[in-house]
């Protein structure tokens, strides 16, 4: 066991032994771990993902952000957002504050439905409720453009994911946490293996980004894909890489996982969409 993993287990052992830790205790231990792991990194900088710790490639990334490749996606998303449905309604009619500046409130646990609601799920439910066909959750396209535009209107706002006093909400959070730390696939990897234990270390040609701050910059324009990639598509890509079977797009597993990692990013600014390699 390497020193980083030993340190993590000492600081953050609740994931294997302290079954009844509260989300608030989890969050504090998560922050403590990364503060010890990367003492030179300011908490607020974790919104920048791997570039908060990989200073050697940060300058190149910042130059890309000067002329972001996703600008056209934001423009297309804004046009879609403002285009009325066939019934005369539009997306603004489905969301609080007319859908502007709300990204930081997602995902949330809907106590009436007893499940986690993500922004992308809410977008498609808005479409279906207005007689429109749902968009695909993967491969970029209109869904990615819409979520990119809505994220851009929340730039600078602070992640504020709440876990209501509801056993079902706590169970959803715990399921997301369990999935994050469970080894899966033929390669026997968990999310935490890359983004907690090995973050900052080279895995092949890449440095895994820190777990804290992951959702802040999604959807992201990935140069390797040449398009925007959603958070759940990234989940599926990681599972494929460790030779595990991905879950259904916007299924309960991914929504609970997003619930957990978003709660762990509370206090950070929304800065999506972003660009990555």
Distance CA 32, CA 8 (A): 10
Residue 195 DSSP symbol: I
Pair 272, 217: CB distance under 8 Å = yes
- Residue 94 designated active-site: no
Pair 99, 119: CB distance under 8 Å = no
Distance CA 235, CA 131 (A): 30
Residues in a beta bridge with 222: 227, 276
Active-site position among 126, 191, 194, 238 = 238
Distance CA 235, CA 254 (A): 7
Tokens for 235?
């989940």
Residues serving a catalytic function are 238
């Amino acid at each position: 066991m390497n020193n980083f993993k030993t340190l993590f287990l000492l600081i953050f052992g609740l994931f294997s032994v302290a079954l009844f830790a509260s989300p608030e205790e989890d969050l504090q231990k998560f922050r403590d771990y990364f503060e010890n792991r990367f003492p030179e990194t300011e908490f607020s900088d974790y919104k920048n993902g791997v570039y908060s710790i990989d200073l050697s490639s940060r300058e190149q990334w910042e130059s890309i952000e000067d002329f972001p490749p996703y600008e056209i996606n934001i423009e297309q998303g804004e046009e879609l957002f403002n285009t009325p449905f066939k019934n005369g309604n539009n997306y603004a009619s489905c969301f609080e504050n007319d859908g502007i500046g709300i990204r930081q409130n997602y995902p949330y646990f809907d106590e009436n439905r007893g499940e986690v609601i993500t922004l992308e799920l809410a977008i498609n439910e808005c479409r279906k409720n207005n007689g429109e066909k749902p968009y695909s959750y993967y491969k970029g396209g209109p869904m990615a453009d819409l979520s990119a535009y809505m994220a851009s209107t929340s730039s600078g706002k602070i992640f504020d994911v709440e876990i209501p006093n509801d056993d079902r909400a706590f169970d959803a959070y715990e399921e997301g946490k369990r999935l994050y730390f469970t080894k899966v696939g033929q390669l026997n990897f968990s999310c935490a293996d890359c983004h907690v234990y090995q973050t900052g270390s080279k895995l092949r040609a890449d440095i895994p980004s820190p777990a804290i701050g992951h959702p802040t910059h999604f959807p992201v324009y990935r140069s390797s894909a040449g398009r925007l990639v959603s958070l759940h598509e990234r989940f599926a890509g990681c599972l494929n890489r460790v030779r595990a079977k991905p879950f259904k797009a916007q299924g309960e597993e991914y929504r609970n996982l997003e619930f957990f990692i978003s709660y762990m990013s509370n206090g950070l600014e929304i800065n999506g969409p972003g660009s990555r390699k």
